[in-house]
Structure 1
Amino acid sequence: MVVSFSSESRQVESCRLVNSFFNVAENEAIDQFLREGYIIFDLEDSSLLNAIRKNIYQSAVELLGDRTQLDEEDFFDKTHEIISIKDLNDFRVKSIARMNQDKSLRPSIYALGKKYIDWLVGNELAMQRNCNLSVQFPKDDSSLLPLHSDVWSGNSPYEVVFWLPFVNCYRTKSMFILPRHESEAVFRNFKQYSHLTSEDFYLKIQEKLVWLEVKYGQGVIFSHSLLHGNRINNEPDTRWTMNVRFKSLLSPYGTKELGESFLPITMRPATRIGYNYIKPEC
């Protein structure tokens, strides 16, 4: 039987749901995610987060050599004081390459968000092959992500992004998102926006956008189908964030496919047996 949902039933779905198979905390997280399309939460293992940040700092010291004049506590907020904007992208690309050589990174990132990822996505998961790093200097217009939905560029709407800051993020030192009900209203009436430039599009819905306030020690999970992006960082400090995508292993893929952009990380034994089942021929 195929079940289809009208726009009215989708709106009902985004209201509070209580599922007796989930505990109270799960139901609350699920309700918020269905309503807003994102959730901000405290990470459970600060020592693991600190270790990841320390490794990134030590890698930066090796890349920068004598230019590194800041200790770890100051480095992430003050990176713009020791690296020029023209050298930033080269530094970021090299940092990402070194970071992803660490085989413990992806398991550590998953461990930081595991409870909420499992609640919101499932416990049989595919994870993006590489973690990404964003470094945005104050007043720098070279690292901007205009208002967009990742699904428009081929990602599956079944994916979520785990967004992890290494500094306190607030106002323009953070990212903005258009909550689920507002994003879906735009999508339903997209003809009135489709002719606009990305800047005019942003200005048209600016008042409805939410700037995420996320402290170091917290994480965000959001549906990248929602409209989101960033602007010029007008705060005095640098923004450092990591992001990586997760999805249910057996849910539909976009152009970023399993084995190419995603790898299975928590396939269960019954699924392994099912994948390898050979139907006998008579």
Structure 2
Amino acid sequence: MELNTEFLTDEERRLTSEFFDKGYVIRDAEDRPGLDRIQTLVAGIAADHLGLDAPSDPGAFLNEIHTRVTGQTLNDLRLTVFNRMNQQEGFRRDYFSQARTVLGMLVGNEIAMQRRVNLSIQMPDDDSSILPVHADVLSGDSPYEVVQWTPMVDCYGTKAMYILPPKRNQEVQDSLKNYPDADALMEDIRDDLVWIEIAYGQVMVFNQNLLHGNVVNAEPETRWSMNCRYKGVFTPYADKRLGEFFEPITLRPASAIGIAYQLPGGFRDA
């Protein structure tokens, strides 16, 4: 379907063109104080879990967390931080505010947000946190979703993630059944992958229909990143349903009135 851009602003046209061309956009976080609150919250929960005082430099503490935990204790730490951050009042609002304008341009102004924001921690040389090449839409996600990917530390090289550009992705998915496994697929597309470089203070929104993943982190620092799905409230759902996985967060008055409205009894009886 060809997109009609006649009614878009110049900024919306630029963002739309970039998203279609690359499959992702990276922008500065829109609410830096809110982002810093999240980083401080995460570092504080992690420190508390380890019996330490809250760090004075949250970013440095997160980058060096591999000096304080092992591969065997990492998942307990991740689950603790994941659960406690999602219970924190205002956390999801702060997270959404980092890409509010971008999401409004790409998704719409009536948005459903994932009810719990995901957390990834990938220590150097740890192969337990690898997500092999995949496309979320092939595993039961709606093709109408986008993902907001927000680093808590600078991410670069193998400390980040990769994504297959849209044109090459279409070619590969058209012949996906010909690949015997993920390793064969990865070998074929390796040279076409775009390796994301994104600093703390930036946020990425990407098309989860594209093949993406990560590899063993060969950098000397630990990766901390968060991701969260969004979609238009009234777009089709797949396995992840509204009210179960998604929650409307920017429903407008006309929609709320329309949803609640009931015709008077007998009005259509004839």
TM-score (norm 2): 0.94
Within the candidate set 14, 20, 23, 2:6 is matched to 20
AA of the residue aligned to 2:183: E
Question: What is the one-letter code of the residue matched to 2:168?
Answer: E
Q: Name the counterpart of 1:123.
A: 109
3-state SS of the aligned residue for 1:76?
helix
Identity of aligned residues (%): 43
Given residue 173 of structure 1, which amino acid in structure 2 is its aligned partner?
A: K
Contact 2:30 2:100 in 1 (8 A): no
Question: Which residue of structure 2 aligns with residue 249 of structure 1?
Answer: 233
* Amino acid in the other structure paired with 2:78: R
In the TM superposition, residue 204 of structure 1 has moved relative to its aligned partner by 1.1
Is the alpha carbon distance of 1:206 and 1:174 closer, same or farther for their aligned partners in structure 2, counting shifts above 3 Å? Answer: same
Whole-angstrom CA distance in 2 between matches of 1:72 and 1:126: 30
Q: Does 1:191 align with 2:177?
A: yes
> By how many angstroms is 1:123 displaced?
0.8
How far the C-alpha of 1:42 sits from its partner, in A, is: 1.0
In the other structure, the counterpart of 2:159 is 173
Q: Give yes or no for contact 2:39–2:59 (8 Å, CA) kept in 1.
A: no
What are the equivalent positions in structure 2 for 1:7-86 lying under 5 Å apart? 13=2, 19-66=5-52, 71-86=57-72
Give the Å deviation of 1:68. 7.7
1:233 to 2:199 alignment: no
1:222 aligns with 2:206: yes
- The answer on 1:155 being equivalent to 2:152 is no
Q: How many residues align?
A: 266
Alignment of 1:262 onto 2:246? yes
Give 4+ residue runs of structure 1 displaced > 6 Å after superposition: 67-70
Deviations 1:62-87 (A, max 9, x none): 11104988842411110100111110
Amino acid at match of 2:252: R
Unaligned runs of 5+ in 2: none
Deviations 1:116-144 (A, max 9, x none): 00000001000000001100000000000
User: Match for 1:225: what amino acid?
Assistant: N
Q: Relative to 1, partners in 2 of residues 1:76 and 1:272: Cα closer, same or farther, differing over 3 Å?
A: same
Gaps of 5+ in 1: 6-12
C-alpha distance 266-69 of structure 1, shift in aligned 2 (>3 A): closer
Is residue 2:132 matched to residue 1:135? no
Name the SS for the 1:126 alignment partner.
strand
Higher alpha-carbon deviation: 21-30 or 205-214: 21-30
Rounded Cα–Cα distance in structure 2 between residues aligned with 1:228 and 1:191: 17
Tell me the amino acid that sits aligned with residue 244 of structure 1. C
